[in-house]
């Protein structure tokens, strides 16, 4: 038989997803590198910017610490701390103040009891469990449908896998407003200080937009994956 007989057209969706992921990562890295060369005129570091955002929001009990690596910055609600990477914590650049301020924005969300972030924290265990089951269920469904094509058990298992994967993707849907809101809080606080030039604020804003696109890209890739699983399951049913 000719080779193309074995070609699975749904691989096109995988390729599209890969392109989206690579594009998002290249965009955020190149944007961060670009604005890491824009120095903050007042010498304000990323750690300083995080403190400014916290102060603007009336929050003063959050610890700020440095960690190794690049773009490993995060807020940890378990010990109410902000960890800033080596390229952010002590750096006086537009990129650094943007990233640090964003993480402080998450701290403000937790202090306020922001609804979407509370929902995200609540569903993490369920979504992780669903994700761990999704592909095993789907692959077992394919196996059963191949061994017993006359029964619908395999198809039902594939559907269960798709549902489980959809539950996990819901976490990404909830994440989007959380990330965008943290960036809005960050930029509002930075603008309110009056310490930054328009170029510095624009750099910080562009870095945050590029970072936000990685979450949008991740959701798009997951939706493409769901579409692929649906197509594969329907083809098995025929």
Active-site residue, selected from the candidate residues 103, 150, 199, 200? 103
Helix (H) or strand (E) holding 154: helix 153-193
| Strands (E) located in 77-207 | 81-84
3-class DSSP state of 146: helix
What's the helix, strand, coil split of the chain in %, to 5?
75, 5, 20
Rounded-to-integer distance, Cα 236 and Cα 172, Å: 28
- Rounded-to-integer distance, Cα 204 and Cα 105, Å: 14
Given CA atoms 107, 111, 112, 118 in this order, what sign does their dihedral have?
positive
- Whether 103 is a known active-site residue: answer yes
Chain mean position to CA 98: 16
Catalytic residues: 103
């Amino acid at each position: 038989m000719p080779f193309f007989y074995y070609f699975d057209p749904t691989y096109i969706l995988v390729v599209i997803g890969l392109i989206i992921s690579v594009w998002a990562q290249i965009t955020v890295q190149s944007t961060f590198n670009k604005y890491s060369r824009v120095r903050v005129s007042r010498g304000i570091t990323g750690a300083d910017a995080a403190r400014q955002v916290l102060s603007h929001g009336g929050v003063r009990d959050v610890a700020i610490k440095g960690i190794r690596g690049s773009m490993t910055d995060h807020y940890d609600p378990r010990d109410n701390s902000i960890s800033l990477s080596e390229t952010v914590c002590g750096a006086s650049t537009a990129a650094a103040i943007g990233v640090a301020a964003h993480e402080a924005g998450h701290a403000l969300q937790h202090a306020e009891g922001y609804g979407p972030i509370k929902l995200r924290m609540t569903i993490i265990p369920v979504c992780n469990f669903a994700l761990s089951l999704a592909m095993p269920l789907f692959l077992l469904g394919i196996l059963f449908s191949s061994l017993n094509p006359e029964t619908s058990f395999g198809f039902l298992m594939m559907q269960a896998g798709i549902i489980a994967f959809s539950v996990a993707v819901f976490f990404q849907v909830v994440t989007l407003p959380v990330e965008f809101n943290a960036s809005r809080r960050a930029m509002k606080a930075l603008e309110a200080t009056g310490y930054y030039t328009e170029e510095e604020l624009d750099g910080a804003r562009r870095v945050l937009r590029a970072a936000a696109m990685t979450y949008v890209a991740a959701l798009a890739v997951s939706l493409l994956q769901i579409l692929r699983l649906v197509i594969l399951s329907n083809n098995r049913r025929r």
